[in-house]
Chain A
Amino acid sequence: MSILQNPLGIHGTALKLREQRTAILASNIANVDTPNYKARDIDFSSVMAATKGHNMSTSHGRHIGASNYQGLHGENMIKYRMPNSASLDGNTVESNTENSLFTENSLRYQATSTFLNSKIKGVMSALRGE
Chain B
Amino acid sequence: MSMLSALKISSSAMTAQMVRMNTTASNLANMDVVGSTADEAYRAKKPIFKTVMENNTLNNFEASVKVNGIYVSDRVNTQRYDPQNPAASDDGYVFMSNVNSIEEMVDMTNASRSYQTNVEVMNATKKMMMSTLQLGK
Contacts and interface: CB of A to CB of B under 8 A. Distances in A.
B135 A117 contact: yes
A113 B127 CA distance: 12
Contacts of B128: 19, 22, 106, 109-110, 113
Among B10, B63, B136, chain A packs the most CB atoms within 10 A around the CB of B63
A121 B132 CA distance: 14
- Chain A interface residue count: which class? 35 or more
Contact of B6 (A23, A71, A73, A110): A23
Interface string B26-65: 0000000000000000000000011100000111111111
Contacts of A51: none
Interface in A14-48: 15, 19-20, 22-24, 26-35, 37, 40, 42
Given A110-B128, A110-B131, A117-B135, A33 B49 contact: yes
Describe A's contact surface by its main secondary structure.
helix
B12 interface: yes
Contacts of A82: none
Interface in A79-126: 95, 99, 102-103, 106, 109-110, 113, 116-117, 120-121, 124
B61 A29 contact: no
B18 interface: no
A3 interface: no
Nearest to B125: A22
Given A15-B132, A37-B51, A102 B61 contact: no
Contacts of B62: 23-24, 27
Interface of A: 15, 19-20, 22-24, 26-35, 37, 40, 42, 71-73, 75, 78, 95, 99, 102-103, 106, 109-110, 113, 116-117, 120-121, 124
